[in-house]
């Protein structure tokens, strides 16, 4: 079984909660080691290390409501790992907006926008050999 690490870094005083799931089956695990970094203009940043992590959810309490950031490992194709990343805000309200993107990651830095305020980067893990 491989170890995994999930960290959540908050640059403001907002409450952040991160939940993750892991697997023991190498076929189901991502091929490329890396980390997912979610940043928003509100100053929130969350970092999730991809070792055995299949999905993670980060709920952040912001002044305008709860923001839900999530990613899910979808599998492998053509030597790449595929993820679905997304946000929902303000969670559970009638004006809730959801944005999702499918991301292909092959061990090289990739950045996607989730609207005007949120960016997701999947990149090689800092300090990895």
Whole-number pLDDT of residue 5: 37
Look at residue 61 and tell me if it is in a domain: yes
Whole-number pLDDT of residue 25: 55
Q: Domain count of the chain?
A: 1
Average pLDDT in the chain: 80
Look at residue 25 and tell me if it is in a domain: no
Look at residue 28 and tell me if it is in a domain: no
Q: How far apart are the first and last CA of the chain?
A: 19
Q: Tell me the Cα Rg of the chain.
A: 14
Whole-number pLDDT of residue 12: 34
Look at residue 46 and tell me if it is in a domain: yes
Query: What helix, strand, coil percent values describe the chain, rounded to 5?
Result: 0, 60, 40
Q: Express each pLDDT in 87-118 by its tens digit.
A: 999 999 999 999 999 999 999 999 999 998 99
Domain that residue 102 falls in: 34-124
Look at residue 8 and tell me if it is in a domain: no
Whole-number pLDDT of residue 129: 52
Supply the pTM of this predicted model.
0.76
Look at residue 53 and tell me if it is in a domain: yes
Look at residue 13 and tell me if it is in a domain: no
Whole-number pLDDT of residue 32: 86
Q: How far apart are CA 54 and CA 74, in angstroms?
A: 8
Sort strands 110-113 and 16-22 into parallel, antiparallel or unpaired: unpaired
Q: Express each pLDDT in 35-84 by its tens digit.
A: 999 998 878 888 888 876 788 999 988 888 999 999 999 999 999 999 99
Look at residue 19 and tell me if it is in a domain: no
Whole-number pLDDT of residue 14: 37
């Amino acid at each position: 079984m491989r170890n995994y690490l999930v960290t959540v870094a908050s640059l403001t005083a907002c409450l952040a909660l991160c939940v993750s799931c892991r697997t023991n089956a190498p076929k189901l695990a991502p091929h490329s080691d890396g980390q997912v970094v979610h940043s928003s203009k509100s100053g929130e940043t969350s970092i999730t290390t991809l070792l055995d992590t299949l999905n993670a959810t980060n709920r952040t309490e912001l002044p305008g409501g709860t923001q839900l950031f999530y990613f899910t490992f979808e599998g492998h194709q053509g030597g790449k790992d595929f993820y679905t990343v997304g946000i929902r805000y303000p969670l559970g309200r009638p004006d809730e907006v959801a944005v999702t993107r499918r991301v292909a990651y092959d061990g090289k830095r990739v950045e996607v926008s989730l609207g005007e305020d949120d960016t997701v980067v999947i990149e090689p893990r800092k300090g990895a050999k």
